[in-house]
């Protein structure tokens, strides 16, 4: 069974940077599109970013565009989310997910992702 595991979260000051990593086990020949979601207390789950199987297409939410960068390393079955210029409103639990549907857009919903990690907490505060 495919397993997803996030790492790299923690406490960071406003304006700082942090890199999240997501490792996927039992990778298939074709692989998966990979997405990052986040959820803050009292708010709905938000799609942050997505990258296609080959990395040819990506998606970023308007709230993180220009600050976050998603990338993948197929050889290591790893997807990264580089987060720069962090703001307090970026504070949330961040989830990595794998999807068999190979597309990335703002219309791709959380239920279109088949495998999920348990999340890693990101706290932006001074």
Residue range 40-53, pLDDT digits in tens: 999 999 999 999 98
Q: Given CA atoms 98, 77, 72, 5 in this order, what sign does their dihedral have?
A: positive
Residue range 52-96, pLDDT digits in tens: 988 899 999 999 999 999 998 866 688 999 999 999 999 999 999
- The secondary structure of residue 15, as a DSSP letter, is T
pLDDT for res 113: 95
Residue range 98-122, pLDDT digits in tens: 999 999 998 899 999 999 999 999 9
Q: Residues 7, 66: contact at Cβ < 8 Å?
A: no
pLDDT for res 29: 56
Instruction: Please tell me the distance from the alpha carbon of residue 41 to that of residue 34, in angstroms, as a whole number.
Output: 24
pLDDT for res 97: 95
Mean pLDDT, the chain, as a whole number?
93
Pick from 20, 119, 9: which is nearest to 78 by CA?
Answer: 20
């Amino acid at each position: 069974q495919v397993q997803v595991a996030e790492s790299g979260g923690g406490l960071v000051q406003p304006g700082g940077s942090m890199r999240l990593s997501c490792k996927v086990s039992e990778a298939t020949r074709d692989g998966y599109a990979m997405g990052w979601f986040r959820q803050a207390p009292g708010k709905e789950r938000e799609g942050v970013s997505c990258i296609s199987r080959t990395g040819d297409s990506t998606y970023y939410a308007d709230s993180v565009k220009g600050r976050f960068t998603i990338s993948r390393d197929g050889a290591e079955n790893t997807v990264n989310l580089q987060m720069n210029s962090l703001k307090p409103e970026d504070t949330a639990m961040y989830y990595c997910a794998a999807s068999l549907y190979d597309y990335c857009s703002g219309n791709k919903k959380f239920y279109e992702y088949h495998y999920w990690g348990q999340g890693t907490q990101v706290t932006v505060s001074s």
